[in-house]
Structure 1
């Protein structure tokens, strides 16, 4: 998901690493200067269809195959495999055949802005006060699990949503865990990981929040993590490379783009502050087997251009990571949101 947000509480000094906040621990603790490990196997890169929204889905898939991508992050939306339109099963079967013909793997993403409500961005969410509205989001996620099963996807992505005004954190967490339970049941039956994404400004905003959810639900096998590398740069206390190492046991989906400290804005590679060779070295050494998907939904107007430029950038950074180990400096900046916060 992409939006431009300046994270509250980040003074200029804090953004340089001079401050800290309680409640921002990430499991497990790591040495802040960990040598990068030479990658064992090549990474597999994809591009998100939410960054190609002006293209027909088949045109987008053909473009990505022609450019040499390994797969696609498929956002279920009205323009690309509408999950609410008739004959979803038949349309999904045709898409599975097309992906196979193009040699593209897939992750199913559920961050469409207005797929459920034409007036509320990302509404309704899993945290809505109205149980019928929460049920609509649950239904969408279960549909996504079915689509992922039919496509042979390696994960289904989701996020918590923003805490509604007037809702206390305890109530919001209760709604989240209740709503995710039937989705996890469906994912478990299908054998597909449900990969929850910490999203700046949401109830579940940080890696610490993910661990709270995991513990509350009893650490279910099919509950995993979507790690957005830009979000790590934006607000996590660890560097993006150290976030990968800390998150490795739960990593089921990865999104990647550039970003600057304290500002939630997805940027093309080279326009932010991330040093990518250590990030890709850590990812390759983590044992992660899925797609690493470029996430640039705000740049959809020039999607073919950014798709064409992103893959060479990532491959060059990956090659740089294999040539020489890089010491990762400490990040030193606090998380903008303590565990459970909605700011």
Structure 2
């Protein structure tokens, strides 16, 4: 069975402990924890004690965890997601990611997820790329044994699986540099069908985010509101042996978080059951004439 989680960026109006209680109470087995002002702020006083308390709470609730780093205004109250690894003040982003890795290690996180950022207009492409490679290399040195999951993000410098491969090659193909795959992003801007995307990157997956989406539009939608057929996607994840978290990524649905989270888990469980049925039906079909027994 898939291990479904839910992202705390979809519980922005809840205290962290309340969000964890709701997520676990609904039946999720994991959480994608976005470090933010109100959710384990890495810059607020008493961090060590707060991290230890969060780790205890996760264990008590039986929730696995991945650490997400996409808070909108944590580092700069005026610039969304800034600074990134591409900005002139990129050292602040590197520091934040290194803090996230330490927090991830203390929480027993399965991965720490991050992305490149959007290239500022005044930064030439080659300089942005150099900054990205150097920043990722510094993070790898400070990862504390936690797998890193780099996420291709539509509109950013690295927005496709192909871009992730290029970045991994530039880093020397290190073992600790894995992939965070957002299922919706595959539909949004990858040329191949979503299940084929999953199968192509299976050896590198350390984290999966799941949501619905439409071709060419980067908008995280509830399941059934986009264009993705989910049973084949979940079948591909199961078939490739992925055992990590599959966490719902709906960052703009906090206004109805408990209801949306409940609805999402019900949908995913039905889609998983459908994928199992389809696999069983395919296995029971007679072999093509001339095929080996």
| TM-score class normalised by the smaller sequence | over 0.9
1:211 and 1:181 mapped to 2: Cα distance?
15
Unaligned stretches of 5+ in structure 1? 1-41, 328-343
Show the counterpart of 2:177.
Answer: 223
1:277 and 1:232 mapped to 2: Cα distance?
15
Q: Give a deviation string over 1:173-221, Cα, whole Å, max 9, x none.
A: 101001111111111xx21111000000000000000000000000001
Which of residues 113, 117, 134 is equivalent to 2:76?
117
2:113 and 2:208 mapped to 1: Cα distance?
10
Show the counterpart of 1:155.
Answer: 111
How many residue pairs get aligned? The number is 281
Show the counterpart of 1:66.
Answer: 25
TM-score by length of 1: 0.81
Q: Which has the higher contact order (CA 8 A, sep 6+)?
A: 1
> Runs (4+) of structure 1 moved beyond 6 Å?
none
SS of match in other structure, 1:323: helix
Q: Give a deviation string over 1:303-342, Cα, whole Å, max 9, x none.
A: 1111010001001100100011399xxxxxxxxxxxxxxx
TM-score by length of 2: 0.94
SS of match in other structure, 2:140: helix
Unaligned stretches of 5+ in structure 2? 283-293
More helix by share: 2
**Deviation, structure 1 residue 166:** 2.5
Show the counterpart of 2:242.
Answer: 288
SS of match in other structure, 2:53: helix
**Deviation, structure 1 residue 168:** 2.1
Which of residues 167, 185, 191 is equivalent to 1:213?
167
How large is the Cα RMSD of the aligned pairs? 1.0
SS of match in other structure, 1:324: helix
1:108 and 1:164 mapped to 2: Cα distance?
26
Show the counterpart of 1:108.
Answer: 67
SS of match in other structure, 1:288: coil
